[in-house]
Amino acid sequence: MSVEATFATTEFMGEQLTFVDCPGSIEFSFEAEPVLAACDVAVVVAEADEKKIPALQLIMRKLDDLGVPRILFLNKVDKAIAGVRDTLKMLQPASSVPLLLRQIPLRKDSVVIGSIDLALERAYIYREYAESEVADIPGDDKARELEARFSMLETLADHDDQLMEQLLEEIEPPKDEIFDDLAADLREGIVTPVLIGTAEKGNGVLRLLKAIRHDAPDVEATRKRLGAPDGNQTVVQVMKTIHTAHGGKLSVSRVLSGQVADAAELFLSGGETAKVSGIYKMLGKDQSKLAIAKAGDTVALGKLDTVKTGETLSAAKGGIKPLATLAPPQPVFAFALRPKERKDEVKMSAAIQRLAEEDPSLSLRHNQDSAETVLSGHGEMHLRVVRERLEGKNQIPVEGHTPAVPYRETIRKSAQQRGRHKKQSGGHGQFGDVVIEIKPLPRGSGFQFTDTITGGVVPKTYIQSVETGIRDYLKSGPLGFPVVDVAVNLSDGSYHAVDSSDMAFQMAAKLAMKEGMAACSPVLLEPVMKVEIVTPSEATSKIIALIPQRRGQILGYDARPDWPGWDVVEATMPQAEIGDLIIELRSATAGVASYRAVFDHMAELTGRLADEAMNTSGKAA
C-alpha cells in the first residue's frame, strides 16, 4: 500500500512521461490532491471486487471535482470470476461518466490468455513480462467482439453526430475517426476508457502506455484547465515537498508553461521571491541533475525554503494568483507525542514541522490545558507512518498516548464563604479579608464577577485583585479541572491601612474559593460533540448499532446528497468516546467511512466514568 506520492520520469516510444504513484487509501488520499491538480491524466487501477466500489467511488468523485480526465485499468483480469461487461455494470455506479470498455478478455478453457482491442479489432496473446503477441481474433470470439465493439461505438456516438449516422446506416466508420473520438472524449472527461490486464505479469501494460501516449491530453490542456495565464510566461505548480537527508528541501513541481533554469528567480502568489538551487529529474529515490526544465516537465527544484506544497510559482513579478487551493479534510485521529528523552524536544518539534511540510494533511497543536503536543491526521495508519518516520528517518524515539479530554467542572449549589489571609513577619504584614457568594450559572455562561461592596470595606483598588485571585483559582477547581458556569459576587470584607496589598487580597479570594467551592456540590462536565458520519448505505445499520455502544445518541440518518449508495448518519457523542471511533468506522466499511465532529455542549458526568476521568487527569491523579 502506497503511503506517499512517488515520481518516476522515463521515456516511452520517444516521448518523456512522468508517472506519479499516488496512494489510494482514504488515510493517505490527500497526498494525491496537489499531484492531480497538475497532472494531465489519471490512471485509476481497480479490480473486480464489489467490496472496493465505495473506495473507487471516493477516488472517481475527487477526479470529478478536480476535472481530471481518467483511464480505468481493470487489474487482475486473470483472477476475475465475473465477465468483464458484468464487472463494468457493477463498477459503473462509482463513476459519474460512462465507463467505456476498450478491450475484452480472450479466454481459452476458461483461462484468460490475452485481450481483444475493440478499436483496433485485433487480438493480443499475453506473454509474461514481454510484449504481447498480435493475432487474429479467433472465430469463436468474433460475435462477442462485434457486440462489445458496437456498444463502445454507441457510447462514442452520443457525442459525435457523424458517427451516429454511420451506425444507423450500418456504415463501418474509419478507424482513425474512432481513435480521434476516443482521444477527444477522454480529454473532455465525458467518458472513462477501460483497459484490462494483469499488472503483476506485465499483461496489458504496453497497451495502456500506448493509450496514454495517443489519447491523454498534454500540458497545454492542463494549463487551460487550471486557468494559468496564456503565453510563454513561466508558471510552475508545486506538487510535493520532500526533505532529503543530504540534499535539503526539494519541491517536486510541474512546469506548466515557459521554462525554469538553475538559479532562476521565481515569485510566489504573495509576491515573495524564491531562487531555484538545483533542478533534478526524479526516478524514485534516484535524482539526476538538469540544467533546465521546459513546459510539461516534472522536476524537483532545490532549496525553495519558503515554498509549500500546492503553491503556484511564476516568473511574473509579484506572482500570479494560486491555480489550486488545498483544503485538507478534518482530522479524525490524534495522539499526544513526547520524546522519550527531554533533550530531544526541540529536535522533535523541528522534525514534525518538516513532516507537516511534506504532508499538509497533518496538523500539530499544543494543548495548553494538558501541556501536550497533539498530532492529528486521517487515521491510525496515517499517524503510525508519521511516528515511524520520526523514529526512523529522524532518529527520535517518541512516546504516544491518547490526548487528554478537556473536562471541565461546575457547581450545583450556592454558598457564601469568608476568606481571610493574615500574616505577620517583621515590618509590614499581609492582610486581606473577603466575603464572597458563589452561585451556579446556566450551561455555557462561563464566569461572571460582580461586587456589592458598600462603605469602602474593600477599597476599589483591591476589588480587581479579588477578581484576579478568583480567576486564578478557577483554573483548577476541587476536582482538578477548570471551573465554568459560575458567578461570584464580592459582598463584604475588611482591610488594613498598612498591611493590605494586591497580593493579600488575591490570596484571601483564593482561600474563600477553595473552602466555598467544596460546599457547592462540584460536578464534572464532559464535552459532547455533534458527529456527522458518511458511510456506504450497506453499512449504515452497523454504524447505527455502534453509536449507542459509545454513549452516543442518534439524531437521524438520510441519503447523502448526490452520492448514490451512501448515507449520512448524525449523532451526538462524548468526546472521550471519539478518540478511536475512526478505527471502528473503517473496520465496518472496508476502510472508507469518515466523520466530521464539532463541539455541541457540555454534559454532566458522574459515577464510574467520572471517577476514571479524575483518576487519570484530575486531583485524584
170 shares its domain with 70:
yes
- The total number of structural domains in the chain stands at 4
211 with 75, same domain? yes
Q: What mean pLDDT do residues 367-387 have?
A: 90
| 143 and 213 fall within a common domain | yes
Q: For strands 430-440 and 415-423, give the pairing.
A: antiparallel
Strands 594-605 and 522-536: antiparallel
Angle of helix 84-91 relative to helix 53-66, nearest 10 degrees? Answer: 60
Choose one of 383, 401, 419: the last residue of a domain. Answer: 401
Percentage, residues of the chain above pLDDT 90: 76
549 three-state secondary structure? helix
CB 260 within 8 A of CB 301: yes
> Mind listing the pLDDT tens digit for each residue in 541-592?
999 999 999 999 999 999 999 888 899 999 999 999 999 999 999 999 999 9
- What is the structure's pLDDT at 380? 93
Closest CA to 174 of 187, 159, 163: 163
Whether the per-residue pLDDT at 110 is higher than 70: the answer is yes
Cβ(578)–Cβ(529) below 8 Å = yes
Q: Which pLDDT belongs to residue 620?
A: 60
Q: Which amino acid is at 441?
A: L
Look at residue 76 and tell me whether its pLDDT is greater than 90: yes
- The one-letter amino acid at 342: R
Hey, how many other C-beta atoms are within 10 angstroms of the C-beta on 223?
21
CA distance linking residue 372 with residue 486, whole number of Å: 27
- Measured CA to CA, the distance from residue 53 to residue 46 in angstroms comes to 9
User: Pick from 379, 401, 423: which residue ends a domain?
Assistant: 401
Quickly list DSSP for 434-488: EEEEEEE--TT--EEEEE---TTSS-HHHHHHHHHHHHHHTTS-TTSS-B-SEEE
**Per-residue pLDDT at 21:** 96
Q: Looking at residue 385, what DSSP letter applies?
A: H
Domain extent at residue 501: 409-520
Cα separations in angstroms, 101 against 42, 107, 420, 454, 579: 17, 17, 86, 89, 44
- 414 and 365 co-located in one domain: no
Q: What is the pLDDT of residue 621?
A: 55
Residue 427: per-residue pLDDT = 67
Q: Given 474, 489, 520, which residue is the final one in a domain? A: 520
- Asked if residue 25 is part of any domain, the answer here is no
The answer to whether residue 270 scores a pLDDT higher than 80 is: yes
Give the pairing of strands 279-283 and 298-302: antiparallel
C-alpha cell at 554: 442518534
pLDDT tens by residue, 198-217: 999 999 999 999 999 999 99
pLDDT of residue 231: 72
Flag whether 262 is in a domain: no
Q: What CATH number corresponds to the domain at position 606? A: 3.30.70.240
In this prediction, residue 232 has a pLDDT band, given cuts at 50, 70 and 90, of confident
**418 and 385 within one domain:** no
CATH code of the domain in which 480 resides: 3.30.230.10
Residues 515 and 539 reside in one and the same domain:
no
In a domain, 6, yes or no: no
Looking at the fold, whether 75 and 161 belong to one and the same domain comes out as yes
Grid coordinates 486521517 are at which residue? 378
Backbone φ, ψ for residue 39 (5° rounding): -95, 160
Q: Looking at residues 603-616, what average pLDDT do you find?
A: 91
C-alpha cell at 397: 524515539
pLDDT score of 588: 94
What integer pLDDT is reported at residue 487 of this predicted model?
Answer: 98
Whether 143 and 58 map to the same domain: the answer is yes
Of 39-48, 344-353, 439-448, least confident by mean pLDDT is 344-353
pLDDT averaged over the chain? 92
DSSP secondary structure string for all residues of 335-355: EEEEESSGGGHHHHHHHHHHH
Residues 375 and 424 in one domain: no
Using CA atoms, how far apart are residues 204 and 196, in angstroms rounded to an integer? 6
Amino acid at site 603: A
- Strands 273-275 and 594-605, bridge-based pairing: unpaired
Residues near 81 by beta carbon (within 8 Å), at least 6 away in sequence: 48
Q: Which three cell numbers stand for residue 112?
A: 484468460
Both 397 and 418 in a single domain? no
DSSP collapsed to 3 states, 118-151: CCCCEEEEEECCEEEEEECCCHHHHHHHHHHHHH
Q: Does residue 247 lie in a domain region?
A: no
Residue with cell 526524479: 282
pLDDT band at 120 (very low <50, low <70, confident <90, very high): very high
pLDDT at 400: 87
User: With left for phi above 0 and alpha for psi between -120 and 50, is residue 14 left, alpha or beta?
Assistant: left
Instruction: Provide the pLDDT for residue 617.
Output: 75
545 and 436, same structural domain?
Answer: no
Average pLDDT over residues 264-281: 93
- Helices 161-168 and 139-157 pack at an angle, to 10 degrees, of 140
Distance between CA atoms of 431 and 39, rounded to whole angstroms? 74
- Say which CATH number the domain at 365 has: 3.30.70.870
Residue 254 lies in a domain: no
Q: Note the pLDDT tens digit of each residue in 150-180.
A: 999 999 999 999 999 999 998 999 999 999 9
Task: List the end-to-end C-alpha distance of the chain, in Å, as a whole number.
Answer: 42
Question: 594 with 332: CB under 8 angstroms?
Answer: yes
Q: How is residue 362 annotated by DSSP?
A: -
Is the pLDDT assigned to residue 246 strictly greater than 80?
Answer: no
Q: 476 and 588: one domain?
A: no
Distance CA 154, CA 101 (A): 11
The dihedral of CA 589, 76, 378, 597: what is its sign? negative
Residue 343 lies in a domain: yes
Residue 503 lies in a domain: yes
Q: How far apart are CA 452 and CA 493, in angstroms?
A: 11
Closest CA to 529 of 579, 565, 494: 579
326 pLDDT tier (thresholds 50, 70, 90): confident
The pLDDT score that the predictor gives to residue 13 is 94
Is 133 contained in some domain?
Answer: yes
In this prediction, residues 378-387 reach a mean pLDDT of 93
The three grid cell numbers given for residue 499, joined into one nine-digit string = 498591611
- All residues at 6 or more sequence positions from 192 whose CB lies less than 8 Å from its CB, including other chains: 44, 60, 70, 71, 72, 95, 97, 98, 99, 100, 186
Cα–Cα distance measured from residue 233 to residue 228, given in angstroms and rounded to the nearest whole number: 10
Alpha-carbon distance values, 88 to 15, 72, 83, 138 (Å): 31, 10, 9, 23
For residue 41, give the nearest of 8, 57, 74, 18 by alpha carbon.
Answer: 18
* Amino acid in the structure at residue 189: G
Residue 358 C-alpha cell reads as 511534506
pTM exceeds 0.85 for this model? yes
Number of Cβ within a 10 Å radius of residue 365 = 12
| Torsion angle of C-alpha atoms 270, 275, 280, 286, degrees rounded to 10 | -90
